């Protein structure tokens, strides 16, 4: 390599080194720029004493107010005066059931003036300090219809930003990262059930046993006990009405894989009298659902009723039921066969 080539190579190496250092220095300075830090300073319930005590809402309470408190750590920055703004947000983490919840904040932001330069440029006490007293109140309006009794999950977020206006003395600080704080609002245990009969009316004959099939579905947020009673409403009386004993129906609120439906039956026995009849019998089935896990109300109940009917129609001859009819037919055929043989 001749002298001219060496000179060109050294020149290229010099310029490459110069541009590499020029690109590196600003990046290092940006990385070393001090950063604001926002932390949670606690969460508290506003107003509802029962909610404060137990962490659960009563069935009749549809609104919860949660106060999120924040603190800001101010870095050691050069002498400056600036405005620091806290920006707030919150959202409901919608569960799979898609139940709606309204989330409102009493403020979306708040600001304060920061200064670490006193008279004559001397530093003041709040250089590097942590400032407290910042907050917002989240008001959540909860639906009170089943199946909305699963616990609501929310996320509140705060971020501190350095203002661009009113800055002097080169106040170089970076905005804080967004700080999320999760929160859960729990409903007290509630009893909410549906009862769907396979039919509301049964048509049958005299001296018959019939059943009403009923599907019970638990839309509440806990295991529910069902007590069933049946009243005969009409003057005409059935011979017997049998209601099921106490039954338990599970809830999907705690475990989505659990079956929250249970089939049950109400059994009736129709009366019999000589001759033809066409009579309607009216029933009212009462279902009392209770959730014994309830904390605030002791025993949360949900009561519903179904109107059922039985129509009895046909002719009844004592001792002449279907079995007797078959036997009589058999005897008649035997007798007929005997006559033909003679």
What percentage of the chain has pLDDT greater than the value 70? 71
Bridge partners (DSSP) of residue 139 are: 65, 104
Q: In the chain, what are the domain boundaries?
A: 33-187, 193-317
**Tokens 């508290």 belong to residue:** 44
Cα–Cα separations (whole angstroms), residue 31 to 35, 220, 311: 10, 53, 86
Angle CA(112)–CA(114)–CA(117) in degrees, nearest 5? 155
Q: For the chain, how big is the Rg over CA atoms in Å? A: 40
User: What does the mean pLDDT of the chain come to?
Assistant: 79
Tens of pLDDT, residue by residue over 309-341, are 999 998 876 655 555 555 555 655 665 555 455
> Please, which pLDDT band fits residue 133 given cuts at 50, 70 and 90?
very high
> Please, which pLDDT band fits residue 41 given cuts at 50, 70 and 90?
very high
> Please, which pLDDT band fits residue 28 given cuts at 50, 70 and 90?
very low
Residue 92: closest CA among 55, 120, 64, 115: 64
Q: Is the pLDDT of residue 7 over 70?
A: no
Q: Is the pLDDT of residue 202 over 90?
A: yes
Pairing status of strand 130-141 against strand 152-162: unpaired
Terminus-to-terminus CA distance in the chain, angstroms? 142
* Euclidean distance between CA atoms 7 and 30, whole angstroms: 36
Which fold does the domain 33-187 belong to in CATH? Immunoglobulin-like (2.60.40)
> Please, which pLDDT band fits residue 280 given cuts at 50, 70 and 90?
very high
DSSP per position, 213-270: EEEEEE-SSS-EEEEEEEEE-SSS--SEEE----EEE--TTT-TTS--EEEEEEEEE-
- CATH class in words for 193-317: mainly beta
Tens of pLDDT, residue by residue over 225-246, are 999 999 999 999 999 999 999 9
* Euclidean distance between CA atoms 326 and 342, whole angstroms: 25
Flag the least confident range among 87-101, 102-116, 216-230, 246-260.
Answer: 87-101
Q: Is the pLDDT of residue 265 over 70?
A: yes
């Amino acid at each position: 390599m001749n002298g001219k080539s060496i000179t060109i190579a050294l020149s290229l190496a010099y310029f490459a080194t110069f541009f590499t250092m020029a690109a590196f220095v600003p990046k290092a300075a940006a990385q070393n720029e001090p950063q604001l830090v926002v932390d949670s300073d606690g969460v508290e319930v506003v107003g509802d004493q029962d909610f404060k005590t137990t962490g659960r809402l009563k069935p009749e309470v549809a609104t919860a107010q949660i106060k999120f408190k924040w603190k800001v750590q101010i870095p050691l920055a050069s002498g400056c005066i600036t405005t620091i703004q806290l920006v707030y947000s919150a959202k409901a983490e919608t569960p799979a059931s898609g139940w709606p919840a309204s989330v409102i904040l009493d403020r979306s932001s708040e600001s304060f003036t920061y200064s670490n330069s006193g008279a004559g440029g001397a530093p003041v006490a709040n250089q590097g300090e942590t400032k407290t007293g910042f907050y917002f109140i989240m008001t959540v309006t909860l639906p009170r219809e089943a199946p909305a009794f699963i616990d609501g999950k929310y996320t509140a977020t705060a971020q501190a930003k350095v203002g661009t206006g009113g800055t002097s003395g080169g106040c170089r600080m970076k905005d804080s990262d967004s700080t999320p704080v999760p929160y859960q609002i729990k409903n007290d245990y509630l009893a909410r059930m549906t009862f769907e009969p396979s039919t509301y009316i049964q048509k049958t004959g005299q001296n018959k046993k019939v059943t009403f099939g009923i599907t019970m579905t638990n839309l509440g947020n806990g295991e529910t006990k069902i007590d069933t009673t049946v009243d005969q409403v009409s003057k005409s009386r059935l011979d017997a009405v049998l209601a099921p004993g106490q039954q338990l129906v599970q809830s999907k609120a705690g475990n989505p894989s659990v079956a929250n439906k249970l089939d049950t039956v109400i059994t009736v026995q129709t009366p019999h009298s000589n001759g033809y009849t066409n009579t309607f019998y009216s029933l009212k089935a009462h279902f009392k659902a209770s959730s014994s896990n309830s904390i605030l109300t002791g025993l949360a109940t949900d009561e519903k009723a179904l109107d059922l009917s039985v129509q009895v129609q046909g002719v009844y001859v004592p001792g002449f039921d279907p079995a007797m009819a078959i036997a009589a037919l058999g005897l008649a055929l035997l007798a007929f066969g005997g006559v033909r043989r003679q």
